[in-house]
Structure 1
Amino acid sequence: MDMFLDQLHGMAQYYPVVLKGVGVTLALSFIGIAAGTVAGFVLGIGRASASRALSFLVGAYTDIFRGTPVLVQVFVVFFVLPEAGIELDSFTAGAIALSNLAACFISEIVAAGIRAVPAGQLEAAASSGLSRFQQLRLVVLPQATRMIVPSLVGQYVLLVKDSSVVSAIGLLDLTRSGWVIVQSVPNGLLVFSAVGLGYFLICYPLLYWSRRLEKT
């Protein structure tokens, strides 16, 4: 018992490291969610386009990233782009990789929502004299968004958890802070249970919001 309390005390001394790690995880998640949502809607509109060529190109692009490991994508951005003359720090590389990944998954959610809008709605909008852009903005997207919000929130939760891979490129996020602490507090179960609890506390508001949305 005394050893356990000593380990807890040792972990408590690292709270500045943990706070920094939580801050990095929150910042990466926020950027990934915001940028990924905007890009995902743009890609999703293209994916659901009547143009087969555009739909195919967007689908091929998103399938590449949805079908490859997140860690590999982070490595490509962090290690390969500098060889092309694009120098990125670890935070920027992580943010780009996570935003792109989120956009690829969100695009499929958005495309499915657009396709689920009844054809009659489009016919009524067209007969009212609305242009295609107005139909999309005023009729299609509002209805599609209401249907896909629970799925979007679920994707946001996955993005927060996926952000842990940036620890592999030396970024001090919540997961990396656990690796730092475990060097001095040799109790991996205790340390990474605390790390897992941290991710749960970050994700729980989103999980709660998702459940509420599914009931409405």
Structure 2
Amino acid sequence: MLWFQIERLWNYWPILMKGLGMTISLSLLSLVAGMIVGLLFGLARTSRNRWLSGVCGLYIDLFRGTPFLVQVFICFFILPAVGIELSAFSAGVLALSNMAACFIGEIVAAGIEAVPKGQDEAAIASGFTHWQKLRLIILPQALQIMRPTLVGQFILLVKDSSVVSAIGIMDLTRSGWMIVQNIPNGLLVFGVVGLGYLIVCYPMIYLSRRMERGTQSPIL
């Protein structure tokens, strides 16, 4: 019986691969957008302008503190009601990008704050402008600090992309839901779906571990 179900599942392999491709596309687009906006959020959070820092912090806390599924529904169902028409794919990318940007913004802000204050003072004493200081001194050091955490956030982004299946996007998770209607073995079908996510995420998990080991100081 199990072997027969495995053979039937093999016939749905193209659907699973198409779903996996959609998941990767969603994750990559959202990652790029989330990194760009997240960097801006991080800079705003550490700005000396209290108004800018406060507004950005409130925005980040709002989306970090609300369920991601609700955010997806807002993008897909509520925005069209106010005249912003989005396809399911666009709504999914928007929700994922915004969520990633909020978390990455906090990571970037924490990385910048972790750079020793002496580095900032030395850059000012050397005559660097504010943007030269950020680009040449602060951000390179902050990146070293926040790399493992950023990779961990990338992994979460890939896994959270499964939520967008709720608005009809044919990603890997929704492909599994379609297949399980014809192959009544949820453990088998979603075991394969889970394996697909693991294949995408494991290289980043391995990279994160290597980075964490690299940041650990040797015991003297």
Fold agreement, TM-score > 0.5: yes
Q: Deviation digits for residues 107-134 of structure 1, max 9, x if unmatched?
A: 0000000001111111111111111111
1:198 aligned partner: 196
Find the partner of 1:17 among 15, 18, 29: 15
Q: List runs of 5+ in structure 2 lacking aligned partners.
A: 215-220
Question: Structure 2: how far apart are the matches of 1:85 and 1:59?
Answer: 27
Paired residue type of 2:98: N
Q: Secondary structure at the match of 1:85?
A: coil
For 1:56 and 1:85, the matched residues in 2 are separated by 29
Match of 1:49 among 47, 50, 64: 47
Structure 2 match to 1:189: 187
Moved over 6 A (4+): none
Distance 2:42 2:122 in 1: 23
Whole-angstrom distance in 1 between the partners of 2:175 and 2:118: 54
Name 2:83's counterpart in structure 1.
85
Residue identity in the other structure for 1:94: G
The residue that corresponds to 2:217 in the other structure is: none
Secondary structure at the aligned position of 1:171 is classed as coil
Pairwise CA RMSD: 0.7
Look up the match of 1:96. Answer: 94
**Once the two structures are aligned, what percentage of the paired residues are identical?**
58
Whole-angstrom CA distance in 2 between matches of 1:147 and 1:9: 48
The superposition leaves residues 142-188 of structure 1 with CA deviations (integer Å, 9 ceiling, x where unpaired) of 10011101000000000000000111001100000000110110001
* 1:70-99 CA distance string (max 9 Å, x none): 110000000011111111111110000000
2 CA distance for matches of 1:101 and 1:201? 23
TM-score, scaled to structure 2: 0.96
Aligned residue for 1:97, secondary structure, equals helix
Which structure 2 residues correspond to residues 158-197 of structure 1 after superposition, within 5 A?
A: 158-197=156-195
| TM-score (structure 1 length as normaliser) | 0.98
1:111 aligns with 2:109: yes
Match of 1:151 among 149, 154, 157: 149
* 1:193, distance to aligned residue in structure 2 (A): 1.0
State the shift of 1:32 in Å. Answer: 1.1
Distance (Å, rounded) in 2 between the aligned partners of 1:56 and 1:113: 18
Structure-2 residue corresponding to 1:124: 122
Residue identity in the other structure for 1:140 = I
| Aligned-partner residue type, residue 195 of structure 2 | L
Q: CA deviation at 1:190?
A: 0.9
| Paired residues, number | 214
Three-state SS of the structure 2 residue aligned to 1:172 is: coil
How far apart, in 1, do the equivalents of 2:68 and 2:32 lie? 18
Q: Distance in 2 between matches of 1:56 and 1:88?
A: 30
Task: Quote the residue 2:56 is aligned against.
Answer: 58
Q: What CA deviation, in whole Å up to 9, does each residue of 1:27-67 have, x standing for no partner? A: 00001111101110110010011222111111100001000
